[in-house]
Structure 1
Amino acid sequence: MNYHERDAGAVDLTNCDREPIHIPGAIQPFGFLLALTPGWAIERAANTEAYFGSPARGLIGKSAADIFQPTAVRLLRERIASLRGDDSVERMFSVRLISDQPLFDVAVHMSDRLIILECEPAKGDEIEVSSMVRGMVARLGATEQVGSILREGARQLRMLTGFDRVMVYRFDPDGSGEVVAEALEPGVDSFLGLHFPATDIPQQARALYVRNFFRIIADIDDTSCPIEPVEAMPPLDLSMSLFRAVSPIHIEYLRNMGVRASLSVSIVVDGKFWGLFACHHYSPRLPSFAERSASELFGQMFSLLLGNALREETAAYEDRARKISDRLMAAAAQDVDRLNDAEWIGDLVLEAIPADGVAVSIDGESSLSALTPASDDFHRIIAELKQREISQVFTTARIADIVPNAERFAHKAAGLLAIPISRRPRDYVVLFRAEQLRAVRWAGDQAKNIEYGPNGPRLSPRHSFEEWSNLVRGEAKPFEHHEIRVAEALRTSLLEVVLRLTEAASEERRRAGEQQKLLIAELNHRVRNILALIRALIGQTNRESVSVMDFVGTLDSRVQSLARAHDQLTAEQWGPGHLQDLLTTEASAYLSGEAQRLVIDGPDVTIAPNAFTVMALVFHELVTNAAKYGALSDSGSVHVGWTMDDDGNLAIDWEETGGPAVQAPERRGFGTTIIHDSIPHELGGEARIEYRTAGLRARFVLPGRHVAGIGEGNSNRTENRAQAQDHGALIAGRHVLLLEDSALIALDAEDKLRELGAAEVTLASTNAGAAAALDSGKIQLAMLDFNLGKENSLPTATRLMEERIPFVFASGYGGDDTIPSQFDAIPVILKPYASQQIAQAIAKLDPDNPPTGD
């Protein structure tokens, strides 16, 4: 079955949901596809004539091993063996598949029993793109607030892909969505703040977005290439395909918007489809294979950082909930009647969860406070909750959806949040919110039209995307995710109070144990949120990596090491962790049942939590290096011993023996930096490493304040950022023109200029763009990259001199031989940019007497 064989039955909003988008029977034409049997026979093919000189049908039954070069076959077999799981995809760059043919970028995955190869001509930009991603993720990691992360993500992805519009699209609980951030080409209409109905993204498309994080549509006017033979059954599942042809309904949807090309990157937070990057272009656009792979990787990193920021955003609410829980438990344990007092409970709970009214139902008795339904209506609500056996926190923005005729009291209570406070669905604390009349701005009328075509009636996509609004009645402001989390914590506390008052002592202890486990699990969840450290790892890990995949693998191992360390700390209720447990846990992945190869000798020492994660990274790098190059890579062993010196410091000795000969590393990578510098820099201790031929030896000294939970870290660490700022008085409050042709370098320089005090920074990548900025009459200072690819910045520099606007040059080649002598008086900043260099160069300018070139 393909797109031309859709069901022509009853027409309703599920038509789009039933469209078989995963089996289109065709691919987009910017590459070719081969479907191979396990024996490498070509069973299906598409769009091969331009690359093989043979139509797809002419390749059926032939062996791919006879067509591809032996080196390519070996590489493909290795990557196929690396596939893990149904949704795994391996990518290769610049592979010579066929003699005397150009290089290809290749993606390989499994579809049922078949091996799917998708190949397109290589552009050879994978190294450059890999470097760009590192910079993008590092810049994103420097952003903490959720709103800033969303805006920076849209900005960075647009810089990478070059699309006219990049939107961050967030889903609401009902499946509809809102554009919460965007980055635009000048002149392109903004969609920021507009809502899109849930039906714009059908259910099966949402399922695919969770499996396959990336989707490209290069040109909606392209003719799809059929997968031959078209009569083969069953249809080929292209769920994980990069070339999958586009649904005609979706093409019509994009055409109605005036969009010619689109790109989507999923945003998945904690395993849930949180939203996506939706990119639009008004002419055909196909980013390179490396750029598309980088976009997908960036989306995954963005999802990780966004998830951390969202959890941090809820931390304040959780802290408040814990304080409320303590007060509630202390008071209610002394007087059980307080649980029936809705006003008293409201005074506590409404501090953390805003609501208009509170009602309590315990043992059939009810108490109501502030804006609530009448007593009879409240009893109807409780009866419905009991009938539904609501035993967890339950919320709805429209009570009328669960209780008939609830619209009549919506002005008092339109939405509710119910907190069960008994083991059986019987007793509840219910928060109410009144109706919130509001106008929702939609991207066009949500209505879709039934149209008749050659295949009968079908539901067509919307034709209008101009702003349209409607008034929402009978609905309250929804309770947000962090508020529901607070309610869950309160439920745990309330349930604990009830159990203490109604059950035997043994049952109370059991429930107390469950409560403790719940709190520890929540603590473990929060402690994993070490955003600052992850930022550093992301920004530094790939210095020694040679590919994006190597970067991801190394980063994953280091993050996992941190996670293991935090698991050990939470097992001790975030108390001091055992040094011996830390060592054995890190080494267990490499010992494979040969625990005797790690010899540990020392007293039972525990380390404070703030030092525990640092030591985890140090030992992770030591164990990893020993497994790759040292004693654990052969038949040797590692001896680790520690003692306490007279000053109370912990001295740890690491010695490898019996392994291959050891040589000092030729260059200092990030792992080596961690071993050498982490303990001195982070903890104020010592680290000495000796690369002896017989084996690595190292000695680390941990200050006593980090042992057994004593102390709170190194209070002597300071940062001095004043120096660069002392030189930046000229830039303060000024509107600066930044002429730079590299997007990422421009973004980095913009941030530095703003840090130095610039009030506004206008970016331009060409002299024409700079001229337009100068025409505004607002520019007061400029920084010009001298070399701009196909041109230099002399025209802009000449105009700046004529208009007596002070400026500085920047160059990656030095200024002596490249910048004409007439500009000798202009300070030159050598790349890469540094804040202090910029400030010092600008400080040399005289704003009252700028150079004129005379």
Structure 2
Amino acid sequence: MTIPPQPVDLTNCDREPIHRLGMIQDFGALLALTGDWMVAHRSANFAEMLALDAPPEPGDPVGTLFSTEAIALLSKAASLLDGSDDVERIFNIDLVGNEQCFDCALHASGGLTIIEIEPHEDDHIDRQLRLVQPVMRELEKAADVAALCQIAAEQLRGLLEFDRVMVYRFRSDESGEVVAESLAEGTESFLGLNYPRTDIPQQARELYIRNRFRIISDVHSKSVPIEPGVGDDGAPIDLSMSTLRSVSPVHIEYLTNMGVDASLSISIVVGGKLWGLFACHHYSRRVLPYTLRTGAELFSELFSLAVERSLGRHQTELVVLGRELHDRLMRAVVGGQSLLDALPTLRPIIQRSLPHNGISAYIEGVYQAIGSAPTEDEFHALRPQLNAAASSTVVASQRLTERFDKAQAFADRAVGALIIPVSRSPRDYVVLWRKELNQTVHWAGNAEKPVETGPDGDRLSPRRSFASWKQTVRGRSTAWTEGELRLAENLRVTLIEVILRLTDEVAAERAKAQQQQELLIAELNHRVRNILNLIRGLINQSRHDAVSIDEFAGLVGGRINALATAHDNITRQNWSPASLRELIETEAEAYVSGKMDRVRISGDDALVAPEAYTVLALVIHEMMTNSAKYGSLCDRSGTLAIEVDCDDSGMTLCWKERGGPPVKPPERRGFGSTIIEKSIPFELNGRARLDYRLGGVEAEFWVPGRFVTCTEVGEERSRGQAKSTKRLDQGADTLAAAIGSMLLVEDSMIIALDTEESLRELGVETVMVQSSVGAALEALDRTSFDLALLDYNLGTESSEAVAERLKEMGIPFWLATGYGEMADKREEMGASGLLVKPYGREELAQILTEFEAQG
């Protein structure tokens, strides 16, 4: 049977063992030593390079070749090798004791130690390092990666003195482009040329990551064989980390066709991947001193870090841009529109970050498109092929027809797409479309014919022409960049969040809003009816105090205004207690016209509960009105002194008028007098006393403590709160007997520590803190507790399972939450009470008091 010949194609280069060619370049020599430092291999030029009488033979001890001092230095360097990719260098070493100095590089290959030897040139390494420093300072000035590459090309050519230095950047498809270049005068420019991925075989790319420096000193020189040619395994030595490693004949021919006599490649590795190369060409033999090559390697590594840092800044900018995109989109749909309805609003926001020519959304069977996009029928025809793709992956294509044949139907409107799935089942999508963009790509030679058959027929031969070759690319859109793909992933998450907000939660939100609206309407109806009844009573009773319509209107208007002011104060903070001092000042200001020095208010301030505030508002209004009409405020000299005093039982308000006209008791008692004398005793179960003294009216009103919380002027905390806390604290010592052990479940460490400390100070003997449901349940299995405090929301889980166990065990517990509306959940879970965050020592003391009362 005749075996058909293997076809010659570009994969031949990928299979070529370029690291095991068995030869080195002629500007150095090589010695391979066994583990006990016996000669295993040496290059054919070893004796000539070191001026020896005869070459060493396999099995010769290294002591017969080198001086004792040289062996000591080499042994020390070899001992520092810590991996197969490590290389140690020694500069300016006298190997054989004849005052001829060499530079040596050592690395491990299998079980061998490889020593590469080159003649030393008087160019100290510290000088090379000093040359690198100003170069790096220049790189710091670059504004972006493009500027960074151009500066690096110029600086590296100045350092190495090659005729051409290029920065060659790889694309995602492994083709490359010359993105920066520095040339000697008269040298042809390759800037902007593209090279197919086949120009650099796969195994060469792998070597570029391991061994970042590759020099070819003379394309026309003959390679020096390594003797013996193969080792014990029957294969040539692995020279992956060698600098002297010879060159593949195909690559030599490639450089010859290009007209290059010497070349140098330095890897640019970013994030562990081959990002690009410094590709250097020279049109005559060029052997770089080892010290200069070392400085160039250092430059390359520093440049790689600079690129990585610049790209990192770009990634950070993308993160910020993605966050801004998310925030803008979320703000745009805050009104509750569906995603389809919001599409015209969302598109300009997306367009700023992800340029496109059209956008489509397919949500729950409904399709909508804006701009250059497929029709609904065309999209439905494409949808089965889209559904075959991964459900959680953004699909990017600049040539849809290569992947989806149904896309041919709308190729006149869109050829590229960013397909963003926004659900699993049914499969919904948001798609950004791009139109065709005819592109002209400049290749270094004909990219469609990268190789030619050699003169021997079946040998692969590289192309001979590298002139700029133009290729017009049709049927493609602008490529989606890596940054755009990252933004698309962020956009996908945002769109899913939008859909969840606008679909899954919309029914619950509407139901909740309806329920709240009904409650608000009912409460509003109740309060309005009460107010209307109160106003009707005011009107009816006030008619007896007036002798004219104008006076009647003034009386009723003043009393209604007093009620309105009171309601403003108590509704300003959601129907909460309001300041008595503010009420007095508001009423007084209406009569003294800015001369508030005539009204002196002393003592405590008081926060009055809403149910008592309107009563006091009417009383203060009547008192102030009478003072302005008949008392100390009716002229320009009288004064009014009001003193407020609080104790444990309640609040006392003392009213003293001085300096006005002589006082006479009223001849008849009107509705105003009734309000003053009877409203506080009748409605608040308090006391009221009114004396008509000749020197001025005096009155005293007492309001029970359940309606007031008093604070000394200037204090942040009310006196009522302070006394309440004191009472709780005084009882804390007795709580220790009732509460020996308490379970605290809280996932915030700071809150847990603060709560634990407060509980111990309040008398709880043992407080066990757990941060998760699992840990809390384990604690309940092994420890008995008297009481528990549970944070409802524990990160990604809730404490409902812990509450259920506590309920089964008959252990009372309180719920702590930052949510405002948890009353229903409290009853459902069987909690003894609800603690709203933020809470502190006072609230904890209240829990302990309530627990003791329950026991």
Aligned to 2:115: 117
- How far has the Cα of 1:202 moved from its partner? 1.6
Normalized against structure 1, the TM-score is what? 0.55
Aligned to 1:402: 403
Judge which range, 280-289 or 105-114, deviates more: 105-114
- How far has the Cα of 1:351 moved from its partner? 1.0
Rounded to whole Å, the distance in 2 between the matches of 1:168 and 1:8 is 40
Counterparts of 1:329-344 in structure 2 under 5 Å? 329-332=330-333, 335=336, 337-338=338-339, 342-344=343-345
Aligned to 1:83: 81
Counterparts of 1:38-187 in structure 2 under 5 Å? 38-46=35-43, 47-53=45-51, 58-125=56-123, 126-187=125-186
Secondary structure of 2:353 counterpart: coil
Residue 451 of structure 1 aligns with an amino acid whose one-letter code is T
For 1:92-133, what per-residue CA distance to the aligned partner results, in whole angstroms no more than 9, with x for missing partners? 211222211521111111222221111101113112111101
- Given that 1:42 and 1:60 are in contact with CA atoms closer than 8 Å, whether structure 2 keeps it comes out as yes
Secondary structure of 1:457 counterpart: coil
Confirm or deny that 1:14 pairs with 2:14: no
- Given that 1:166 and 1:277 are in contact with CA atoms closer than 8 Å, whether structure 2 keeps it comes out as yes
Shift in CA distance, 55/422, structure 1 to aligned 2, threshold 3 Å: farther
Secondary structure of 1:442 counterpart: strand
Pairs aligned (count): 500
Confirm or deny that 1:33 pairs with 2:30: yes
- How far has the Cα of 1:223 moved from its partner? 0.5
Secondary structure of 1:418 counterpart: strand
- How far has the Cα of 1:390 moved from its partner? 5.0
Counterparts of 1:786-801 in structure 2 under 5 Å? none
Aligned to 1:461: 462
Shift in CA distance, 430/113, structure 1 to aligned 2, threshold 3 Å: farther
- How far has the Cα of 1:451 moved from its partner? 2.0
Rounded to whole Å, the distance in 1 between the matches of 2:329 and 2:406 is 35
- How far has the Cα of 1:22 moved from its partner? 1.6
Rounded to whole Å, the distance in 1 between the matches of 2:53 and 2:196 is 43
- How far has the Cα of 1:268 moved from its partner? 1.6
Rounded to whole Å, the distance in 2 between the matches of 1:503 and 1:101 is 85
Shift in CA distance, 494/14, structure 1 to aligned 2, threshold 3 Å: same
- How far has the Cα of 1:8 moved from its partner? 7.4
- Given that 1:341 and 1:367 are in contact with CA atoms closer than 8 Å, whether structure 2 keeps it comes out as no
Q: Which of these two proteins has the greater Rg computed from alpha carbons?
A: 2
Rounded to whole Å, the distance in 1 between the matches of 2:479 and 2:391 is 18
Rounded to whole Å, the distance in 2 between the matches of 1:362 and 1:172 is 35
Structure 2 stretches lacking a partner, 5+ long:
507-748, 750-855
- How far has the Cα of 1:163 moved from its partner? 0.4
For 1:209-238, what per-residue CA distance to the aligned partner results, in whole angstroms no more than 9, with x for missing partners? 122111100000010111111243222211
Residue 118 of structure 1 aligns with an amino acid whose one-letter code is E
Residue 47 of structure 2 aligns with an amino acid whose one-letter code is E
Aligned to 1:451: 453
C-alpha RMSD of matched pairs (Å): 2.7
Shift in CA distance, 259/498, structure 1 to aligned 2, threshold 3 Å: same
Rounded to whole Å, the distance in 2 between the matches of 1:364 and 1:377 is 14
For 1:476-504, what per-residue CA distance to the aligned partner results, in whole angstroms no more than 9, with x for missing partners? 11011222222222223233444566789
Residue 412 of structure 1 aligns with an amino acid whose one-letter code is R
Rounded to whole Å, the distance in 1 between the matches of 2:260 and 2:445 is 15
- How far has the Cα of 1:431 moved from its partner? 1.4
Counterparts of 1:254-333 in structure 2 under 5 Å? 254-313=255-314, 315-332=316-333
Secondary structure of 1:242 counterpart: coil
- Given that 2:399 and 2:476 are in contact with CA atoms closer than 8 Å, whether structure 1 keeps it comes out as yes
Residue 222 of structure 1 aligns with an amino acid whose one-letter code is S
Secondary structure of 2:420 counterpart: strand
Aligned to 1:228: 227
Shift in CA distance, 27/271, structure 1 to aligned 2, threshold 3 Å: same
Rounded to whole Å, the distance in 2 between the matches of 1:79 and 1:393 is 51
Rounded to whole Å, the distance in 1 between the matches of 2:337 and 2:74 is 70
- How far has the Cα of 1:368 moved from its partner? 1.9
Rounded to whole Å, the distance in 2 between the matches of 1:104 and 1:381 is 69
Aligned to 1:199: 198
Rounded to whole Å, the distance in 1 between the matches of 2:443 and 2:119 is 41
Aligned to 1:596: none
Residue 322 of structure 1 aligns with an amino acid whose one-letter code is R
Counterparts of 1:691-710 in structure 2 under 5 Å? none
Secondary structure of 1:59 counterpart: coil
Normalized against structure 2, the TM-score is what? 0.55
- How far has the Cα of 1:441 moved from its partner? 1.3
Shift in CA distance, 311/411, structure 1 to aligned 2, threshold 3 Å: farther
- How far has the Cα of 1:415 moved from its partner? 1.5
Secondary structure of 2:167 counterpart: strand
Shift in CA distance, 393/102, structure 1 to aligned 2, threshold 3 Å: farther
Rounded to whole Å, the distance in 2 between the matches of 1:484 and 1:21 is 36
Rounded to whole Å, the distance in 1 between the matches of 2:426 and 2:479 is 23
Rounded to whole Å, the distance in 1 between the matches of 2:230 and 2:322 is 62
Aligned to 1:484: 485
Residue 482 of structure 1 aligns with an amino acid whose one-letter code is G
Rounded to whole Å, the distance in 1 between the matches of 2:15 and 2:110 is 21
Rounded to whole Å, the distance in 2 between the matches of 1:56 and 1:25 is 21
- Given that 1:170 and 1:177 are in contact with CA atoms closer than 8 Å, whether structure 2 keeps it comes out as yes
Rounded to whole Å, the distance in 2 between the matches of 1:55 and 1:406 is 76
Rounded to whole Å, the distance in 1 between the matches of 2:5 and 2:46 is 33
Shift in CA distance, 405/426, structure 1 to aligned 2, threshold 3 Å: closer
For 1:592-646, what per-residue CA distance to the aligned partner results, in whole angstroms no more than 9, with x for missing partners? xxxxxxxxxxxxxxxxxxxxxxxxxxxxxxxxxxxxxxxxxxxxxxxxxxxxxxx
Rounded to whole Å, the distance in 1 between the matches of 2:504 and 2:255 is 62
- How far has the Cα of 1:353 moved from its partner? 0.9
Confirm or deny that 1:373 pairs with 2:370: no
Counterparts of 1:676-825 in structure 2 under 5 Å? none
Aligned to 1:536: none
Shift in CA distance, 103/422, structure 1 to aligned 2, threshold 3 Å: farther
Rounded to whole Å, the distance in 1 between the matches of 2:47 and 2:378 is 72
Aligned to 2:844: none
Secondary structure of 1:476 counterpart: coil
Rounded to whole Å, the distance in 2 between the matches of 1:423 and 1:54 is 76
- Given that 1:423 and 1:495 are in contact with CA atoms closer than 8 Å, whether structure 2 keeps it comes out as no
Rounded to whole Å, the distance in 2 between the matches of 1:14 and 1:55 is 46
- Given that 2:339 and 2:499 are in contact with CA atoms closer than 8 Å, whether structure 1 keeps it comes out as no
- How far has the Cα of 1:463 moved from its partner? 0.7
Secondary structure of 2:310 counterpart: helix
Rounded to whole Å, the distance in 1 between the matches of 2:245 and 2:87 is 14
Secondary structure of 1:249 counterpart: helix
Judge which range, 338-347 or 296-305, deviates more: 338-347
Shift in CA distance, 376/504, structure 1 to aligned 2, threshold 3 Å: closer
- Given that 1:343 and 1:368 are in contact with CA atoms closer than 8 Å, whether structure 2 keeps it comes out as no
Secondary structure of 1:268 counterpart: strand
- Given that 2:46 and 2:55 are in contact with CA atoms closer than 8 Å, whether structure 1 keeps it comes out as no
Aligned to 1:839: none
Shift in CA distance, 360/504, structure 1 to aligned 2, threshold 3 Å: closer
Counterparts of 1:397-546 in structure 2 under 5 Å? 397-404=398-405, 406-407=407-408, 409-422=410-423, 426-446=427-447, 447-453=449-455, 457-498=458-499
Shift in CA distance, 409/31, structure 1 to aligned 2, threshold 3 Å: same
Rounded to whole Å, the distance in 2 between the matches of 1:55 and 1:433 is 73
Judge which range, 316-325 or 162-171, deviates more: 316-325
Rounded to whole Å, the distance in 1 between the matches of 2:391 and 2:219 is 48
For 1:692-714, what per-residue CA distance to the aligned partner results, in whole angstroms no more than 9, with x for missing partners? xxxxxxxxxxxxxxxxxxxxxxx
Aligned to 1:241: 242
Rounded to whole Å, the distance in 2 between the matches of 1:68 and 1:378 is 78
Rounded to whole Å, the distance in 2 between the matches of 1:218 and 1:138 is 29
Aligned to 2:598: none
Secondary structure of 1:351 counterpart: helix
